[in-house]
Amino acid sequence: MFKIKASFVHCFVLILTACATTPHYSERSSQFITDHFPEEISFIKTMQDPLFKKDLENLLTNVHDINISEVNCSTGQIACSFKSYPHTVFLKKEYFLLSKEEQFTTILHESYHLLHKSFDHTLCTKEKRWGHECDEDFNSAYGIEYKYLLYKYQTNPSNNTLLLLKRLDRRINKS
């Protein structure tokens, strides 16, 4: 159900910046996505794989609301989604400390949970210390992040994308 990120305790200056700029309200997801991810949206429009492009568009349009608050996700989570809110992604302020690319794939991750009504993860076999925060294969919330970034890396390679791919690979047991 949840996506856990590393602690950002050491990023005190960044946290202050995020606090100053993070909105604390609920907004239509289409507006949020357009405002925050113009590069990713432009990239999706250029995709040559029509099926994958459609998958991504279906994921994004299924989210109707982005709710930025501190009360819904648990401690240690930066984003979450719930069966009882089938079109809402909840974000905490720490979310805005991630790179734009990871912010976007986090939305894809939570969108996958919502669209597939599947909120579970499984035990990590590559990194047991991560507990139950992995998926078995690519047909999953972490898998959609990986597939998107791999597609992006193959057409427009960057160090940040590669770093995210390597990290996500550890979260997918059969990869």
Binding site for Zn ion (CB under 5 A): 3, 141
Q: Which is nearer to Zn ion, 26 or 118 (CB)?
A: 118
Residue with smallest beta-carbon separation from Zn ion: 141
Torsion of CA 45, 161, 98, 81, to 10 degrees: 60
Instruction: Name beta bridge partners: 172.
Output: 135
CA dist list (Å): 171 to 54, 101, 112: 25, 18, 16
Quote the least distance from Cβ 107 to Zn ion, whole Å: 12
- Tokens describing residue 37: 């991810």
Q: For residues 141 and 144, which CB has a smaller minimum distance to Zn ion in the complex?
A: 141
DSSP 87: E
**Min CB(141)–Zn ion separation in Å:** 4
Residue number, 15 or 72, with CB nearest to Zn ion: 72
Among residues 121 and 152, whose Cβ is nearest to Zn ion? 121
Q: Say which residues have a Cβ less than 8 Å from residue 124's Cβ, sequence separation at least 6.
A: 130, 131, 132, 133, 134, 170, 171, 173
In one-letter notation, the amino acid at residue 61 is T
- Least CB distance to Zn ion at residue 16 (A): 28
Minimum gap (Å) between residue 50 Cβ and Zn ion: 27
